[in-house]
A and B are shown apart, each in its own frame.
Chain A
Amino acid sequence: MTPRWKALEASLRRRVRAELRASRELWREYKRNRRSFSRQTRLEPFIRFLVPIALAAIALAGTSAPALVLAALTLYATGSAFLRAASLLQGLHGSTDLNVLAHYPCSDDDLLRLQWRRFHRSSLWLLYTFAVVYLVLGAGGGPAALALSAGLALVHWLGTLGVSAALAAWRPAWPLPFLGKALCLLSAAPVVFGKALGPLLEGSPGLGFLALPTGWASFAFRNGIVLGEPWALAAALPAAALAALVPLAGRRFLRTYSVGGLVYPAAPTAELILEQMVQNEMVRRSEYDPAVVESPELKPALREELRRSIPEFMEGRVLEGGFLRAPDWTRGGPLERAFAALLSPRERAAADFLLGGGMSWTRSWILSAVFAALGSLGVLLLGGPVPWVVVSAGALMALPLLAGTWPAFHTVPTGGVFMPLHALYPLGYWQMSSLKFRAALVRGLAWAPLAFGFAVLIGAWPGTWIEGGPVLALKALAVYAASVPVFAIFRFSEGTNDTERPGCLGAFLFLPIILTVLAAAAGAILLFVPELGFWKVGLPLLALPPFLAWALYGLLYTRCRVDLLRATPSST
């Protein structure tokens, strides 16, 4: 089955246009509508396009040995296999196509074949990835090596496709998207930690590649072509044999795949409502007496009591007025309490809305602080106190600053477009910004001891190049403070159409904002390179332009120069 009937589409298009041309007014309207149609820009294809280019550039520059580039490629291929499998399963069980086509007379086999074809077609970029990397690495070995490289790229692609299909067919319950993303991220490690891993990989026979089926082709390439050991090319045979998993997985899907009925969320039934009410009442009573949750006889008794008196019960609850009371933030953690202490009652109402009625900053802060501390230490131990390792460890250390979300900035669908949730309610740019700034202040102060601890640690690390660790922490805090207004702009911008079709006027309006953000970035760089002698310039550059950019964006926002609407949902 193919969802497009191109001949019919073309013929209809011709006839529709002929009819439109007959009326000048209709033709003009048609042209206007065509022009206002905007195409969406997607980031993912660019990343896919850039990965092999980046790996090839690293190989050409000679900053990383071929073994490290191949290790990165293997991990990336493994991650991609997981992601491709997840994408196939998504296509088969939860895609938009399925939601549309399941309403029409299509058999399960038709739907399977459609998704199966898409799976193959949309995996072609992996072949491009392998081809670019192998051809660049094998370019120095003459025409024979080039031909072998091209062959191995094809083998690697077929093998990865086989692994991917097998994962989807036989291991659908695995957390495929998570594993895929984690492995893709991990693929940067061999390049980033080249200094530590390089000697290990260079001196080894490369058996580590054989641990992953997606590494068999890499092993054949590394040992067979780069190191000139022809026997190693034999590893390409099992790698190619992995391709046999594709038809096997296809046959399994043909036997087992069934769309079944589409599941729509049901409107609440009387029983569901009752159950929810019982649950709510249990929670409410447990606040006064925690022992209530332990009591096994209470729940049935409560259910019976509520069944008899739902209307009266609910009327009582409304008249009680509990729903009108502001949430009690004094019962939250230290971060919540500190934030609440900085707000007036009206601001608390606004913050309550912006935070979606719930705030658990302290818990997520502690979790991310522990993860950041362990991660930073691990990175430092592995990479040593060289600049980029310290920067990576520092970036990890900044994780607690990101803890906590503002769900009111998420977009919701409305009339074919998306708008931020806060757009419907009386909340202003300056007011929301002020709340975000105060939250940032609380988070920054909570983070300061961590930053100073980390700075002292790397300042005292054996062989370090850093002097005066605490000064570095102060600089990091300055960068954080400067980033707050810039991130506030991004947050607001995510719910608007400011970057969709900006045009000349848009570019003119945004130019000062972009320039001030760039100035702040330059200030941040100058702050960390005192030998340039510009630190006196760096700090003012870091201190003023971000707030200027925020104020300029605020003028555009509040003077109604952007719509609180966008064609696609925000990424948060």
Chain B
Amino acid sequence: MRIGLERLSKSYGRLKALDELTLDLEPGQVVALLGANGAGKTTLLRCLAGIAAPDGGMILYDGQVFRRERLDLRRRFGFLPDFPAVYPEMTVLRHLGMVLRLYGTEPAGIEERVLRLLRDLDLLPLAEMPLGTLSRGQLYKAALATLAAVDPELWLFDEPFASGMDPNGITVFKDLARDAASRGRTVVYSTQLLDIAERLSDRVVIIDRGRLAAFDSVDALRAKAGGKDGVLEALFRRLREENR
């Protein structure tokens, strides 16, 4: 799914969370959203998911203007916030079934896909536990399994590496993201972990106080920095210096 942002703006009172952000993301990529705390990463993800209302500009999905009521477009993406929103009394399997039906997912081969995800994420023994009894990391894994089972064209994640998932969960997340991108899906996630972003992502978007500070492929950024590793860290240091 191709994502276009045209002069996207969003304010909270007088605080400009997004300031005329213009961007074009091609499908089949893993994109990292980077920025300091309060830079506007979560707001951007919420706008992309239709939760926050932009004050100006527009969001285009495959060239079509996105509005909250475009259910056809909303069925093509899934958003996993920092803390998954689920019914606590529902079991993992019941939640999976309900969301899959809500998205109208094709039933062919779905059981095998779900089974593989549950197995990979060590969720099999928890499959019939109420979601409210799971730890934070387990809950995030259950929500990740659900999103991966739906397999939308656009995967949106807010801080997946601060979700409490164990090392296996994080590895599976990275594998799922890479696999989804290789199948033409777009994966957009926010993070503060620059080394992971550098290794996992095809492109990075750096937001600084609501404005686009950098948007390029990791390779291009590295080339500009003379082929050195830790290019994102250097970029951030420079941004901070400029802002002081």
Contact = CB atoms under 8 A, between A and B. Distances in A.
A402 B107 CA distance: 37
B138 A353 contact: no
Contact of B71 (A311, A356, A412, A427): A427
A565 B125 contact: no
Nearest to A408: B87
B126 interface: yes
A356 B95 CA distance: 10
Interface string A300-322: 00000000001100110111111
A31 to B, nearest CB: 9
Given A323-B93, A324-B107, A352 B51 contact: no
Interface in B72-119: 74-75, 79, 81-83, 85-87, 89-91, 93-94, 96-104, 107, 110-112, 114-115, 118-119
B193 interface: no
B68 A563 contact: no
Contacts of A423: 49-51, 85
Contact of A273 (B81, B118, B125): B125
B222 interface: no
Contacts of B102: 349-350, 353, 425-427
B64 to A, nearest CB: 14
Contacts of B200: none
Of B82, B110, B114, B128, most buried by chain A (CB within 10 Å of CB) is B128
Interface in A26-53: 26, 29, 32-33, 35-36, 38
Interface residues of B, number: 62
Contacts of B138: 267-268
Contacts of B79: 424
Interface residues of A, number: 65
B125 A310 contact: yes
Contacts of B135: 267-268
B152 to A, nearest CB: 9
A295 interface: no
A318 B127 contact: yes
Contact of B14 (A32, A311, A415, A561): A32
B13 A501 contact: yes
Given A324-B101, A419-B85, A560 B50 contact: yes
A141 interface: no
B97 A325 contact: yes
Nearest to B16: A32
B158 A415 contact: yes
B43 to A, nearest CB: 9
Contact of B51 (A326, A350, A419, A561): A419
Contacts of A319: 111-112, 115
A265 interface: yes
B82 A559 contact: no
Nearest to B159: A415
Interface stretch (A111-119, A176-184, A194-202, A428-436): A428-436
B67 interface: yes
B14 A36 contact: yes
Instruction: Tell me which of B12, B83, B107, B111 has the highest count of chain A C-beta atoms within 10 A of its own C-beta.
Output: B12
B244 A23 contact: yes
A280 B112 CA distance: 22
Contacts of B163: none
Contacts of A318: 93, 111, 114-115, 118, 124, 127
Contacts of B52: 563-565
Nearest to A279: B128
A409 to B, nearest CB: 12
B73 to A, nearest CB: 9
A25 interface: yes
A421 B79 CA distance: 12
Given A323-B96, A349-B102, A352-B98, A314 B127 contact: yes
A560 B74 CA distance: 14
Given A38-B13, A414-B82, A563 B51 contact: yes
A325 B15 CA distance: 47
A36 B83 contact: no
Interface in B183-228: 209
B53 to A, nearest CB: 4
A414 B51 CA distance: 11
A415 B82 contact: yes
Contacts of B81: 414-415, 419, 424
6 contacts: A265-B133, A273-B129, A319-B111, A353-B99, A353-B102, A424-B51
Task: Rank and list the top 8 A-B pairs by shortest CB-CB distance, nearest first.
Answer: A36-B13, A267-B135, A558-B69, A323-B97, A426-B74, A323-B93, A36-B15, A560-B53
Interface of A: 23, 25-26, 29, 32-33, 35-36, 38, 265, 267-268, 270, 272-273, 276-277, 280, 310-311, 314-315, 317-326, 346, 349-350, 352-353, 356-357, 407, 412-415, 419, 421, 423-431, 501, 557-565
Given A314-B128, A419-B51, A563-B51, 20 more contacts: A23-B244, A36-B14, A273-B126, A273-B129, A280-B91, A310-B125, A311-B124, A317-B128, A321-B110, A352-B98, A356-B89, A357-B94, A414-B85, A415-B83, A424-B85, A426-B71, A429-B68, A431-B71, A560-B50, A564-B51
